[in-house]
Every structure is written in structure tokens, then in C-alpha cells.
Amino acid sequence: MPPALLALALSAFAVGTTEFVTNGLLTALATDFDVTVARAGLVTTAYAVGQACGPALALLTLRMPRRRLLVLLMLLFTAGNLASALAPTFGPLLATRFLTGCTHTAFFGVASVVASRLVPTARRGAAIALVFTGLSLANVLGLPIGTLAGQAWGWRGAFVLVAVFGAAGLLGLLRLLPRTDTAPADAPASAAPSLRAELAVFADLRLWLALATTAVGFGGLFASFTFVQPMLTAVTGFGTGDVVWLLAVYGAGLVAGNWLAGRAADRALVPTTAALFAALALTLALFTATVHHKGAAVATLFLLGFCGFGLLTPTQAYVLRVAGRDSALVGTANTAAFGVGITLGSLLGAAVIEHGGPHPGTALPLTNLAGAAMTALGLLVFALSAATGPRRPATAPSTPG
């Protein structure tokens, strides 16, 4: 594998770490800014709203050389995390989280295309998987390390650490990415991307249903997971120091689910996706009860990671199948749909906490039930998408640019 893929994976690790690091720091943020835990959850929402704006950024930079764009995105990402660390009040922190989130979707959309062009066509899948390994490791290592840094140095220290990760990724991109936008020798020549061609695929209703499936189905996870740190401490009874290894358990489930679901999706995409949505809804519903028992809560946390992030590859593959082409903009739109889902889920969870009663032992577990209902709705949307009209015939993968 070309060394440039390692730079892309390291950058993906940094981006993935900042996406979820606040989930382990909500209590500290709420205390420092004198806001409720539900309101502190807006730091996750703000980032997700930024993610949802990613397709607009992708369109604006459609003709920018990809190496330059990736470097610019990582520069903005690193600066955004430093700005978050320096935020004097809660409002500016939300603003910096939003701006940092804007780089997320565009980064993964461009990085996937760049990775595919660094290797022969037959190895594109492996190259893209290596980039997304950085995202998986962010949940296994980055999230617990960031939480540990926040406990040791305060939440500002966690953002500084993420900025260091981002700077390392930026230096790797500058040093290792080819200066010319090369393509593998066996790839067909392609012209610069056409805005009309990129947008034409969005005229298909089934594509919008597929994107809605991603947003609604995956969003249910974040009605719960956004508030997992206060839930595990205030309800389950774990200590603050336990959150680090608990998040590592969740990350282990994520890696296992992502790997196994990817293999299953190659054999049976639609059944695998439907089964994972159903399993996630059931696991969230069970978490409403198991959160009160330490051993059961740990097991359920692993299953949440397994089912929730097991959906990443199948939903991406399903959206691209519906689109009928390997479009960077479609991939970016699906990543943005994840951001929309996180936004909706975190807002739903916050509303449940605000209106679920004054005692956290009552209100926090209800976020799991709300998330289960949201994911079940996503399963219904998926069924409608799969049943609506004929599938588009698959076209040759395109790597515009």
C-alpha cells in the first residue's frame, strides 16, 4: 500500500476522534459552562449540523485539486479544534464545533476518492477500507484517550490533543500525498467532474429514501449515545474513571461490527442492512433496562457499537447501489445524512431528558427507548426504499477529476 494511505488514515483518525470525544466529556462541559447535560449535548449536535453542510462545501470545491483540498480541510480542522479549546463561553464553542464539522463530510468524501486513485483498480476497496480503519481506531483508541485527556487536563486539553492529531495528519498529507492528481495505470481516463452529471442522480426518489434511511435509522443510536457518559455514571453507577474502558468496549464492538457487516453485505446487502437496523432497535430498547445493571450494561454497550457502526458499510453500499454510480458527491451526501441523523438523534435525546422528569435515573434511560423508536422508523423507510421501483443498473465506478 502507498504510504500516502497511512497519512489519510491518520487524518481520518483525528477527524473521527473529534466527532465523538465530547460524548465522554458532557458532565465536565455542563459543569464548566453552568448548563444542563441536555444543553451540553448541543456540542455533538453542532458538529453534526456542520457535517450535514458537507455536500455544499463539496460542490464549492468540486474543481479544486484534491491534494490541495485535503490539506486545506485538515488545516481548518486543526485550527477549529484549537479554537474549541480556547472558547471562552458556550456559544463560541458551539460555533467552532459547527465549523469543524463542516470539514468532516468533505474530508471523507475526497479522501475516499483519493485513496481509490492511489492503487490499482482491483485494490480500491482495500485502500478505502484502510482510510476508514482510521475512523474505527478513533472510536477504539481516540475516544477513550480523548476522554482520559479530558479527565487529566480538562476538556480543553482533550481538544488540544485532537488538534495535535490533526497537525500530525496534516504533515503526513503534505509529505506523502502525490503533488499531481494521479490515477492508477489501469483506470480509464476521466474528465473533470460535471456539476450537472453529479446532481442528476439526485432526481431519483429512491436515492432520497436511501439517504433518509441513513439519517433516521442511524440517528436513533445517538439519541442514546450522545448521553452515554452521564447515563453510565448517574444511572448504572460506574465511576468517572470507568468511562475510558467502557468506551473502549463500545469501540471494540464497533470494529467487530464494521468488519463482519462489511463481509455480510458483500453477500446479501439488503438483508444485512435490514437485520442490522432491526438488531440496533432491539438493542436500544434493551438498554433501557440493562443500563441499571453493570454487567448487562457493558454487554449492551458492545452490541450498540456492533450494530450501530456495523451499518456504516452496508448503508454506504446501498446508497451507491441505488445511485447506480460511484459518485463522490453521493458518498458525501450519505456522510452528510449520518450528520443529519446525529443531529436529530441528539436533539431527540435532549428533549427526552428535559421532559422525562427531574431525576436522571428516570430521564436518561428513556433516551434509549426514544432511539429504538427512531431506528425502527428508519427500518420502515428502508423497507419502503427497497420496495420502490426497480434498481438502477450499476455503472462503472467513476473517479472524476
| pLDDT at residue number 397 | 37
Distances 106 to 21, 48, 250, 280 between C-alpha atoms, Å:
20, 13, 26, 27
- The pLDDT assigned to 144 comes to 87
Domains of the chain in sequence order: 1-192 (1.20.1250.20), 193-393 (1.20.1250.20)
* pLDDT on residue 360: 61
The label of the residue with cell 474513571 reads 241
Q: Which residue has the cell 479527565?
A: 151
Query: What is the per-residue pLDDT for 319?
Result: 85
SS (H, E, C) 58-118: HHHCCCCCHHHHHHHHHHHHHHHHHHHHCCCCHHHHHHHHHHHHHHHHHHHHHHHHHHHHC
Give the whole-angstrom CA distance, residue 121 versus residue 168.
29
Per-block mean pLDDT, blocks of 10 residues, the chain (401 long)? 89 92 88 92 90 81 84 96 97 96 87 81 69 81 88 94 96 90 49 66 88 94 92 92 89 85 82 96 97 96 92 83 73 84 92 79 91 98 84 40 31
Q: Could you tell me if 369 and 284 are in contact, meaning their C-beta atoms sit under 8 angstroms apart? A: yes
Element holding 343 (H helix, E strand): helix 328-355
118 near 4, Cβ under 8 Å?
yes
pLDDT at position 189 is: 47
Alpha-carbon dihedral 131, 306, 44, 349, rounded to 10 degrees: 160
Would the pTM of this model clear 0.85, i.e. be above it? no
Q: How far is CA 29 from CA 147, 161, 185, in A?
A: 12, 17, 51
